[in-house]
Amino acid sequence: MKLNTFVKSFVLPGTLAVLFSLPLLAFAQDNVQSGLSGIRSTFGFSGGITSATTLKDLIISIIRIMLLFAGIIAVVFVIIGGYMYITSGGNAEQAEKGKSTVVNAIIGIVMIILSYVIINVIVNLVSRPTY
């Protein structure tokens, strides 16, 4: 691997990642749990599986965790497909393979978001109090 290719592929993105993550160090003295509770409440994981008191709460927690992991995997496939597309070097077959990986991963992300919305709508309809 040439030095120029190494710098473009690894050193430059790594440097950018470090520079963009530096503002996070400003919150180093903050309580870690308070930051995580904000993330947990955003994704609906306020108590996790252990705080589920009913079967419905347990099923909802498991489904949300599975959707979160599926989203993480889909984002990883977007990154892999993008890397394959960028590093194809004029090889049409490799570029097409990378492009199809990105397209399929984006379709997966859309499906995951839609399933998250559908689950939340169903949960809100089922758990709505009757008057």
pLDDT digits (tens, 9 = 90+) for 29-80: 555 555 555 555 555 555 566 666 777 777 878 888 888 889 899 999 999 9
The answer to whether 127 touches 103, Cβ cutoff 8 Å, is no
Residue 127 DSSP class? S
Q: Measured in whole angstroms, how far is the alpha carbon of residue 131 from the centre of its chain?
A: 39
Q: How far apart are CA 108 and CA 98, in angstroms?
A: 15
pTM here is 0.60
* Residue ranges of domains in the chain: 47-126
Handedness of CA 72, 74, 69, 115 (dihedral sign): positive
